Amino acid sequence: MDFMKMMKQAKELQSKMGDLQAELDALEVEGTSGGGLVTVTLSAKGDMRGLSVDPSLIKPDEAEILEDLIVAAHADARRKAEAAMAEKMKDVTGGLQLPPGMSLPGM
């Protein structure tokens, strides 16, 4: 493969990555726990955008249960965010596997 072709492909990938960053920032996923009593909304990049707690869970003597459900909902949303990011990356890179420890800018 000649150098100019490689440079062109690198530029194209860089442009796609910029588009992907914007898309991931706009994409939101929800994680739930407690049968839907707690919902956490994250961007695909993992930034928390929202938290919803059913009022029935807001009892001073059950704070630990609520805390555990929030953590569980966040973990569920995080898994979904990571899966969404991986799927988008696969689309952008055409399935290209990056060497271990190497990431693309902004990821």
Question: Looking at the whole model, is its pTM more than 0.75?
Answer: no
In terms of residue numbers, what domain contains 35?
26-90
105 domain residue, yes or no: no
Residue 6, pLDDT score: 81
Instruction: Give the number of domains in the chain.
Output: 1
Residue 72, pLDDT score: 96
Q: What is the pLDDT of residues 13-51, one digit of tens each?
A: 788 777 888 887 888 999 999 999 999 999 888 889 999
Mean pLDDT of 70-98: 83
102 domain residue, yes or no: no
Task: Round the average pLDDT of the chain to a whole number and report it.
Answer: 83
Say what the alpha-carbon torsion angle 104, 105, 106, 107 is, to the nearest 10 degrees. 20
Please indicate whether residue 29 or residue 1 has the higher confidence score (pLDDT): 29
Residue 84, pLDDT score: 87
31 domain residue, yes or no: yes
Residue 20: burial class (beta carbons within 10 Å; 0-12, 13-18, 19+): buried
37 domain residue, yes or no: yes
Residue 19, pLDDT score: 81
Query: In this model, does residue 97 exceed pLDDT 60?
Result: no
84 domain residue, yes or no: yes
- What CATH number is given to the structural domain containing 59? 3.30.1310.10
Query: In this model, does residue 98 exceed pLDDT 60?
Result: no
81 domain residue, yes or no: yes
What per-residue string of b and e applies to 81-102 under the rule 16 or more CB within 10 Å gives b? beebbeebbeebeeeeeeeeee
Tokens 């990821």 locate to 107
71 domain residue, yes or no: yes
99 domain residue, yes or no: no
